[in-house]
Chain A
Amino acid sequence: MQVNEYKPLIVAFCCNWCSYAGADLAGNNRLNYPAEVKIIRVPCSCRVNPMFVLRAFQRGADGVIICGCHPGDCHYTSGNYFTRRRMALLFSMLDYLGIEKERTRVEWVSAAEGAKFAATMNDFVEKVTALGENKRLEDLRCKK
């Protein structure tokens, strides 16, 4: 094993009702996924302001993933549709700025899909790891 193995930094926003519960279920079932994934709980995926995503990249995150309820299953009826549209725009802009599309993702994970949560995270970390470090938006002034 290499000593200085590259570990990406992944921020995951999970909605309280589906995806955060799905992540808990992955835990209950002891389904492993990389520790690089750090979850922030939000009431609904639509609470994720594009600013949060930009902030994460600015602070040196290598990938940002937003997880919500499946379309049609949003606890708040329609929040995940807002997320889908907002993030489609944001991600294409980020792509234009040089943040590869593989570094950003929106996924639907229900409260019953612990296995999907773990599989999604494994896949996402693998893809981001393959891309390597994200330097594009990082603001070095933010680093101490």
Chain B
Amino acid sequence: MQRIGVFVCWCGTNIAGTVDVKAVAEALKNEPGVIVSTDYQYMCSQSGQQMIKDAIAEHKLTGIVVCSCSPRMHETTFRKTAASAGINPYMVEIANIREQCSWVHKDMPIGTEKAIILGKAAVAKVNLNAPLTPGESPVTKRALVIGGGIAGIQTALDIADAGFPVDIVEKKPTIGGKMAQLDKTFPTLDCAACILTPKMVDVAQNDKIRIFSYSEVTDVKGFVGNFDVTIRKHARYVKEDVCTGCGACIEKCPMKKVPNEFNLGMDNRTAIYIPFAQATPKVATIDPNYCNMLKNGKCGLCAKVCAAGAIDYTQKDEFIEEKYGAIVVATGFNPISMEKFDEYAYSQSKDVITSLEFERLTNAAGPTAGKLLRPSDGKHPHTIVFVQCVGSRCEACAEKGKEYCSKICCMYTAKHAMLTRDKYPDTDVYVFYIDVRTPGKNFDEFYRRAVEEYGVHYIKGMVGKVTPEGDKLKVQASDLLLNKQLHIDADLVVLAAAIEPDKSARPLATLLTASMDTNDFFTEAHPKLRPVESPTAGVFLSGACQGPKDIPETVSQAGAAASKVIGLLAKDKLTGNPCVAHSDEMMCNGCSSCERVCPYGAITYNDKEFRMPDRTTLIRRVASVNPAVCQGCGACTVACPSGAMDLHGFASSQIMAEVDAICK
């Protein structure tokens, strides 16, 4: 029989406001095994924990029930408390009477009644708890960063700086990401390339960092400290270690009409290409969809002009297998498609563009060499209309856009408007906004400068319809403050498209078994206290894959993720989760049902000798679980027809006891 102590937390008024904590403590006193039952204002506080320790010593307790917030919050805290008082940490159970009781019910009697039942269930469970000891596993001291934008670059540099090897996997032929496409950055207007490319060079020159560009992660196995990852390196038909990046092949390539994705299709590139001048690695890549040699064997010019002999038309995709201790997701974002917002005529006029396209139009390395010219006729636009919140802040069920605020648009639009007025003072610039959101250091000052010093017309209202007619774009909009409908003949319309996670994020999350929200942003382990960790141990989050972010925020989160990775890799051993499956060999009939459902291959079958009552021996085939590999899902426990398989910490008898306690 256990000797159980029950500790009911008030959590200030968070619990005590809707649950009569004294009554709960009193009611649980009479439960089987309960020796002491008491309450306190903050159980997680120093003195609350001391109270538990004292009670353990005084009453020789063997089990603890804490009725408090969610176990996701403080289970670890109270386990540590118990351990420091000398009892096994897995003898602690939490009754969640805050998130799942006091916060969702308003009525004191109802809340109290439910809290008592939840407490009883926890007591019933603890009565059947057994001390558990976690196993240990080694840590592979190498990190994987998926995504080579500014988030991935910064994370990799910081991890490498601490002395650990890092691999970056980037699906494009070069690292650099979205930041490489930008012209200037807010709020200081330094040029994006000037601050990004030195970092790209650092990555290339760091002997701790390997770049797998034009590559994807195709498989992830294992667990924290011990991930086995397969990386598919797409054939670029150019030997990376031989190519010097001289560009002779690009000059000679006859296939010159390939839409240039780096400039968002606003100009063309060749079939063999280097995305931009500072690409890292600076090696050429052949686009197999356009290369004549690869398509029909007719050409081969690039191989002829390549002095280094780097071209290899027979190259195949390569699969690399590597072990990692930690994985950082830095898959970034993309602007959403404007297909469902064609009231702005994006598909009907070349002069309706997205903000990222505008960025390329003003970039010195862009299709117009930095001159702001209309894509349709190459003329200088005299009236430009910026439309904010295109696809952001939409009602979820409207199925058109995104429910969230994309966060970066207000600032980059202010930047675009300001730079336009600065370079071309003869241009009229209108910005239609719903709200201007500038919560960042020096952000609001920046936006005010756009209005006050640069004379950008900020209009509170939205654009309803853009009608291309002749060489004008007729913009119909509302000015809510003047209470007027406006009609503006614009030359260029720029849409601040909402941003969404990269499409590769969803399949990657499945590979990593990392959770995502309904918008396909990765979920953090705790929204406030563990913002750069995924709930899946060993998986960390960096940059916009977790939510919309600007560059300063991305870089700080990248550093934070790196420090978490360094903390993990610095350990030699990790303690595992003792809540793993185990099989009763006497009951096992060797049917292999459990082996078939185990997603980790943790179950193997061995022949074992059994001594029979009549002193003969019998060799039977029985299951055994490798506790280092088992993750404790419990699929096998249900598949087992003989009831031999059970799960530590969530034993069938324990869950049944909870059911009984709740249904009493």
Whether chain A touches chain B in the assembled complex (some CB pair under 8 Å): yes
| Pairwise interchain contact B635-A38, C-beta atoms closer than 8 A | no
- Asked if A39 is at the interface (CB within 8 A of a chain B CB), the reply is yes
Query: Which residues of A have CB within 8 Å of B652?
Result: 49, 51-52
Inter-chain CA distance A105–B104, complex, in Å, is: 21
Q: Contact: A11 with B659, CB < 8 Å?
A: yes
By CB atoms of chain B within 10 A, which of A46, A50, A110, A144 has the most?
A: A46
Does A27 lie within 8 Å of B103, measured CB to CB?
yes
* Contacts A72-B510, A76-B631, A82-B638 given; does A52 touch B99 at CB 8 Å: no
Is B595 close to A, CB under 8 A? no
Given known A11-B663, A44-B633, contact A111–B535 (CB-CB < 8 A): yes
Q: Are B662 and A18 in contact (CB under 8 A)?
A: no
> Smallest CB–CB gap between B127 and chain A, Å?
15
Given contacts A75-B515, A77-B599, contact A61 B663 (CB under 8 A): yes
4 further A-B pairs in the complex, CB-CB below 8 A; given A11-B662, A35-B104, A46-B634:
A27-B104, A39-B96, A52-B652, A79-B634
CB distance from B582 to the nearest CB of A (A): 14
* Interchain CA distance A60-B663 in the complex, whole Å: 6
Can you list the 3 inter-chain pairs with the closest CB atoms, starting with the nearest?
A27-B99, A47-B634, A112-B517
Question: Would you call A4 an interface residue if the criterion is a C-beta within 8 Å of the partner chain's C-beta atoms?
Answer: no
Question: In the bound complex, how far is the Cα of B579 from the Cα of A142, in angstroms?
Answer: 30
B window 134-177: CB within 8 A of A: none
B105 lies within 8 A of A24 (CB) = no
Interface residue range, chain B: 35 or more
Answer whether residue A21 sits at the interface, using C-beta atoms and an 8 A cutoff.
Answer: yes
- Cα A18 to Cα B509 with chains together (Å): 14
User: Given A18-B515, A38-B118, A24–B659 Cβ distance below 8 Å?
Assistant: no
Assembled-state Cα–Cα distance A131/B331 (Å):
48
- Count of chain A residues near B, Cβ 8 A: 54
Q: Please report A residues at the B interface, Cβ cutoff 8 Å.
A: 9, 11, 17-18, 20-21, 23-28, 30-33, 35, 38-44, 46-52, 55-56, 59-61, 69, 72-79, 82, 86, 110-113, 118, 142, 144
B517 and A35 within 8 A (CB): no
Stretch in contact with the other chain, from B109-117, B351-359, B373-381: B109-117
Cα of A79 to Cα of B103 in the assembled complex, Å: 30
Q: What are 25 of the A-B contact pairs (CB < 8 Å)? A: A20-B72, A27-B99, A28-B103, A30-B104, A35-B110, A38-B117, A40-B121, A41-B96, A42-B650, A43-B647, A43-B650, A44-B633, A44-B635, A46-B635, A49-B652, A52-B656, A52-B659, A69-B515, A73-B515, A78-B635, A79-B599, A82-B638, A110-B516, A111-B523, A112-B523
How far apart sit A137 and B373, CA to CA, in the bound complex (Å)?
Answer: 76
Q: How far is the CA of A47 from the CA of B660 in the complex (A)?
A: 17
Q: Is B536 an interface residue (CB 8 A)?
A: yes
Complex contact A43–B99 (CB within 8 A):
no
Tell me, in angstroms, the Cα distance from A44 to B39 when the chains sit together: 32
The smallest C-beta distance from B186 to any residue of chain A, in angstroms, reads 29
CB neighbours (8 Å) of B510 from chain A are: 72-73, 77
A-contact 0/1 string along B518-558, CB 8 Å cutoff: 10000100000000000110000000000000000000000
Instruction: Mark B493-517 against chain A: 1 for CB-CB distance below 8 A, else 0.
Output: 0000000000000000110010111
